[in-house]
Each structure stands twice: as structure tokens, then as C-alpha cells.
Structure 1
């Protein structure tokens, strides 16, 4: 995967609304430090000192030392913020820096900040006048915490539950084909990973020897995955505290303040390891595309391109899952396999239909229809049984379907008093 580059017809600066959204995402990472300090410690200090004086005096002393805990929380926020700001810089370099005038930048940046990359980009963002939405700020915080699941050694427990069945199925499918055609090699077996997120499954599939393409629509995830896959220089480069901002359901204060080093492996080093059986370099076997899955992969240019499609905790992001199925059917070769593992927490369940005014505008533009992908109006929430039936109806044969055999959390704290457990559906379908 080339540094800071993504495949696909995806130019966010060409559209004013898309550009505004992109800048909002960038600001959400830039603002992580300031907003986390305000919401997590400043507000709590105010609430603490609002207690009766004899109460806060008691709680400020050992063994409670609440004020010391808030100071520790401030330190952990700064540690998380180092990762957030690194993502901000990677995203700015990739999406914004190539299109801005260097003379204009020089005119607005002070001499003392001229060699500080973060301050230069931050100054430009201030002058562009766009601020992050609450939704984007929430996503930035979640994205930082997601590194625990995808790129820490301790997150391997969750990854194994979700990724191992996929990797095992890919291996079994390839060796089944190779037994009939010994000339086949893994590098010719192409895998697509929609909803690639922070890129760990893409990396793991590539490390296993396959050719793999990830796809992601979220700017948050694209920027973060680019950082870890292209720009990190060593194992354990950043220290994160994914549970620190949540002050509920902890048995001990140190449980809340657990820290984890990321990444647990250095992707560049790992993929550069020589192999007698894998002769195509990882840089030619791994790529990432940016854009709407159901628009991009339903195009004629992707018709029957992939040997396998893997969807992990992904299909429930679809307002209309038929659009996803159609895209998989288009880009998968006949006889290719679709491996799915995940729950059905329908992300768009509460999405409203467009208003009457919007409907009128849509009718005016009806002569030039634009495929809005997941932005199309309408949504439906199906059961697992219904999903499997619609997959079969649209041209697939279900080869395997398991329910309840896998139990996993999602960015869950094993020491917490509260555990949310998913029992995802796992199925394998073959394209007819």
C-alpha cells in the first residue's frame, strides 16, 4: 500500500460538502486533546469541588486520592492525543496538503511555528474555518480506542475470535483449489475486505500470502489505517489508555488506567520478511480503496475480480443490505466465496426518510440520477434468517452457517464489571 494513497474514484475536495466533512474529521483528531481534557477532567474537577467541602477533602486524601487520579487521567489523555494528532497529520498530508498554495501557507504561519508540522496544519485548518461535529468527535475518540482491538497484543483475544475463522476458511479454500490445480499460488488468489477499518484484517490476510484489497468509506478509518500501515516506524510506538475516559464499572482505579502499546507488530517489517513460497512483494499484494462499497464494487470494472470477499462486523452498516449483496455478487468470481462473520446491530435503524422538500428536489434531479450508495433513502432491518435467505435468493449457495458458536466482545475491558457479548453469525456462501 503506497504511502497516503488510496485507490478508487474518490476526490473529497471536488465537492464542497465532502470537503467540509473531511475538514470536520481532521479537526476531530486535532481537537482530541483539548476536548478530552475538558470533558474528562475539567468537568469532573468542577463537579468534585461542588461536593460539600468535608466530602471532597476526605476523597482527595489517601486511599482515595481522587485529585491525583484526575491528574493521572490528564497524563493518559495526553498519551492518547499523541496518536490522535499523528492521525491528523497523516490525514492532512494525504488529503489537504497537495491542494493548498504554499505561499499562502507561508503568509499565515508564524516564524516560530514554521518547523512544527502540527502547528502549520492546525493554522491552516483555523483559517479554513471548519470545526468538527459532535458525531465526528465521537468517531475520533472511538477510532483511537479501536487501536486496542486491532493493533495491541492484548486485543489478539478479540481478533482471534473474529479473524481466525476467516483466515482458516481462506486457507482451506485455497488448498482445495490448489489440490486440483497445483500450479496455483496464493498471490493469484485475490481477496476483498469491505469495511477494512484500521486495516488489521487486510494486513493479516496479506501476511498469510494472499493478494488483498481493503475498502473503507470512513475518513477516520482511512487516516488511521494509513498511519499504522504506512507511517509507524516501530513496534509499540504509541501508548494508549482505551478505557481511561470511561469512569464507570471499574473494580480498581488501575483497571481504568490500563495502558497498551501499539502496534504489536510493525507492518512494514513483518511484510518485508523473505519467503520461499511468496515471491510477490507485499507492496504489490496489498492495497486500500476509498469510497462507498456498494457503488464502487458494483461497477463494470470490478466485475468478477475477486476470488473471495470477507465481511467482518460489516453487513449491518447497510441501510439496504440488498445493495451490499449486489456489489459482492458483481465483484466476486463465479465459484468464489463470501465469508461473513458478525452481528446485526443495524447502524441505520433510526435513519429518517427524506423530507417532502428533499423529495421535491430529488424529483427535479430525476433526469440525472446519481447513485448515492449507502446515502440512498430507505432502510430495512432483517433477521439473520432473513439475511441468509436473501443472500440465497440473489445468487449464492450457503455452504456453512453457524450461530452462537462464537462469543466475543468489541473493544471490551476484560477487567470491567460490565461486559457486552456478541454471538455473531458466521456463514460461507458460494457465488452460483
Structure 2
């Protein structure tokens, strides 16, 4: 990837009032990561600690407990995580906001002392733009920082291997089968789509395997973070994160809580400049709205979805989009659970008519925001895929994997994900 134009897309969110507000809220959630994390993680805990009887907090301040020392160390780890969050903020600001700014106005706003400090300069402009991050966006920013452990640390390889290896193995088998029929075929001739690309590691790995791959992502949090790691990092191990530090429960020892990991484990730009790699690009926007368009009809040889299909309120819309953009005879490779994301969303019963419902009532396609939802079982999903003209070539439920799992925690969460391969007939 060479520049932000490959992942920001043609749409300028700063020209749409609602999209602008949302974008600025996301940016502010990364910008304020440090302040929010210090307040919620250590400040409130110090207050609670000093509310204990004095004899008790005095005891717990001393070895072997040293709770106050632990909170101080936790502050240092928050600062380390914040360096990554603030780098994401700067990359996102440069890509989305900076092009729409008037240079003379910016010069009148930003003090000269910040001329060579991008974070402070951009932060000053953000203050003038006025939008503050929501609590939901702040939580997503925290989760996004932690997600670097899964996708871009050496230790995250365990989870990636469980989820990505079946995808790559299936692609390689498909390529070998096609190569027997067409000896001229190269891996770059196979076009792969990865919806819900997240921080871009699967897209990167497929590209490194030699295929031409396009990632798609709708979340600004993920878009900004993936752009940073794919386009703007200068070396492996550029940042150090402590993904499990902010959760103070279920630790066997403080050492476990405070473990740090270097990211990225590989420098993407350098890795893609070596060897026989494929082509890589990224698109932004609603998967349904984008890939159901006529210009994407029969565009891809394979679609790979990992921990993605359960983000659909109405999975039929996802199936229709895959069916549209997949070539006849192409493969849909899926691995993931069915933790239906929309089911956990709380809604005010007083809000009868949202903007999306109003637009939908006028027959405007609002993609993933369409009203209505349904939660299906794994066998029902597979039956539905078959109903829409796919043949199931493989179905293996029960692939055990975690998602940003702390292997040293006293609490372990394990998915028994479903892996299936469907061919468009």
C-alpha cells in the first residue's frame, strides 16, 4: 500500500455532517486514550484504595502487596499504550481531516511551539472542531489497541494460526487445483476479498502468500489503526503494549498483568518489498452497500470471512453481496463463531423512528443499518448459504480458538468456531 488513497476511499466524511461528527468522535477517542485510561484505571482505584480503613491501606501499601507501586507501574503501561493510540490519532487526522483544513486558519490556531509536534498541533485543531468522543468510541479505541496483540504481535501467532491457517490452506489447495487446468495461472491472478479486514493482518498474510487481495472495513477505528501499521510504521517492535494491564481481575500475579508485547512483529512495508508477493489494497465502507454494486459483479475468485458474518443483523444481505461479487465457481471460505453483534445493542423504546428506518421506508438502501434482524444457528446459516446457490464442500464446526485471550488469566474464553467452504455454483 502506497499512501492513504488506497484505504480512505473516494467518499469524504468531512462533507457529511453526521459522518463528520462520527469521524471526529473516533479521532478524539484515540486522542483521549491516555486521559480516559488513567482516570478509569488508576485514578478511581486510588480513590477506592484510600477509602479503605487506614490500617488496611497502610498494610497493602507495603511489600509483598505494594498496591500503590502497582498502580504507578500501571500508569507507565497506560502511557505506553497511549503512544500507540496517539499515533493512530495522528495517522487518522492526516488522512481524513487535514486535507479539508485551510492552512492559514490552522496557522492562526496552532501555537508556533507545536509546529514540529504533530500530536499537539492536531490536538489543538481538534479542540477548535469541538466534537468529543463518546463512551462507546472510547471503549472501541481501548479494544483496538488491545487487538494489536492478536494481529501484530509474535505471541498473537497462536490465535492467528488457528484462524488464518485454514483460510490460507484452502486458498493454496484451490490454486493448485486451478493450476492443473491452467498452467499459465499465477497466484496474482487470483483475486481475494477479505470483508471485515480489521487491522489488516489476514490481508497482509494473503498478500505475502502471493495472491491479489482486497480488504474491506467499515469501522473508522480499524481503518485508522490498519493504516498506521500497514503504511506508517518504520520498523518491527516500534511500539510496546500491555493489552491485559487495564483489566485488574483474574491475574495470578502482577507480572502476568503487566506483561508487554512488541508490535508489529514484522515491518509490513519491508516484508512486502521482498519475495514474490501479491497485490494488496483496502476499501472502506459498508460491505453490503459496496460489493452488491454492478461494478463488483463476478470480481473475486474467493471471499474469506473470519469472525465476520455474525456482525450482520440480516445475514441474507451478506450472502447476497458475496454471491454478487464472487465469480461462478468461486469459493467462500468462512471461519468464526455466531456471536450476533446486533443482539447486544440496547435501544431506547421511545425511539420509534430512527433516521435509518425513515430512509428504509423510502426504499433507500442503508446496508447494514437496515431495520430488522435475526439470529441463526450454525446449521441454519449453512442451509441458508446452500439455498442461495452455494454448494458446501467442507463444514467443520468446533475449531477451538480465543480472541485476544490472556493465556495466563484465571478466566479463559474459548470459541468453538465453525469453519466451512462454499462454492458458488
Please indicate the TM-score interval, normalised by the length of the shorter structure.
over 0.9
Q: Quote the residue 2:373 is aligned against.
A: 379
Q: Deviations over 1:50-94 (max 9, x none)?
A: 101111001001111100000000000000000000000000000
Residues 166/354 of structure 1: CA separation in 2 closer, same or farther (3 Å cut): farther
Deviation larger for 9-18 or 30-39: 9-18
User: In 2, Cα distance between the equivalents of 1:118 and 1:364?
Assistant: 38
C-alpha contact 1:4 1:90 (8 A) present in aligned 2:
no
Q: Is the 8 A contact 1:8 1:296 kept in 2?
A: no
- Residue 180 (structure 1) shift: 1.1
* Secondary structure, aligned partner of 2:419: strand
- Structure 2: which 5+ residue stretches go unaligned? none
How far apart in 2 are the matches of 1:66 and 1:198? 35
Quickly say closer, same or farther: Cα 1:89–1:317, change in 2 above 3 A.
same
CA contact (8 A) 1:92 1:121 kept: yes
For residue 271 of structure 1, what is the aligned residue in structure 2? Answer: 272
Residue matched to 2:324: 330
Q: Given the superposition, is the C-alpha separation of residues 58 and 81 from structure 1 closer, same or farther in structure 2, using an over 3 Å criterion?
A: same
Q: TM-score, normalised by structure 2?
A: 0.97
| Number of residue equivalences | 423
Aligned residue for 2:401, secondary structure, equals: coil
Moved over 2 A (4+): 7-11, 350-357, 359-367
Q: Which residue does the alignment assign to 1:232?
A: 233
Paired with 1:117 and 1:148, the residues of 2 have a C-alpha distance of 26
Rounded Cα–Cα distance in structure 1 between residues aligned with 2:81 and 2:9: 31
State the match for 2:340 in structure 1. Answer: 346
Distance 1:8 1:100 in 2: 18
Compute the RMSD of aligned alpha carbons: 1.6
In 1, the alpha carbon distance for the partners of 2:84 and 2:355 equals: 45
Q: CA offset at residue 356 of structure 1? A: 7.3
Query: What is the aligned partner in structure 2 of residue 40 from structure 1?
Result: 41
Q: Is it true that 1:415 corresponds to 2:408 in the alignment?
A: yes
1:390-405 mapped onto 2 (5 Å cutoff): 390-404=384-398
Q: Could you say which residue in structure 2 is the equivalent of 1:257?
A: 258
Shift of 1:361: 9.2
What TM-score do the two structures reach when normalised by structure 1?
0.95
Change (3 A) 1:61 1:362: closer
**Cα gap change, 1:180 to 1:20, in 2 (>3 Å):** same
Question: CA deviation digits over 1:350-406, x for unaligned, max 9?
Answer: 455996752799568855x321101111111000011001100011111110011x2
Alignment pair present for 1:288 and 2:282: yes
Following TM superposition, by how much is the alpha carbon of 1:274 offset from its aligned partner in structure 2, in angstroms?
3.4
The Cα of 1:184 is off from its aligned counterpart by 0.3
Aligned to 1:83: 84
Q: Any stretches of 5+ residues in structure 1 without a counterpart?
A: none
1:222-274 deviations in Å (ceiling 9; x for gaps)? 00000000000101000000000000000001000000000001111111113
Q: Does the 8 Å contact 1:197/1:225 carry over to 2?
A: yes
Show CA shifts across 1:321-343 (max 9, x none). Answer: 00000000000000000000000
What CA distance in whole angstroms lies between the structure 2 residues aligned with 1:38 and 1:366?
Answer: 43
SS in 2 for 1:348: helix
1:90-117 alpha-carbon deviations (Å, 9 max, x no partner): 0000000000111111111112122211
1:10 positional shift: 2.9
Name 1:3's counterpart in structure 2.
3
1:242 lines up with 2:243 in the alignment: yes
Q: Is the 8 A contact 2:360 2:370 kept in 1?
A: no
| Partner SS, residue 98 of structure 1 | helix
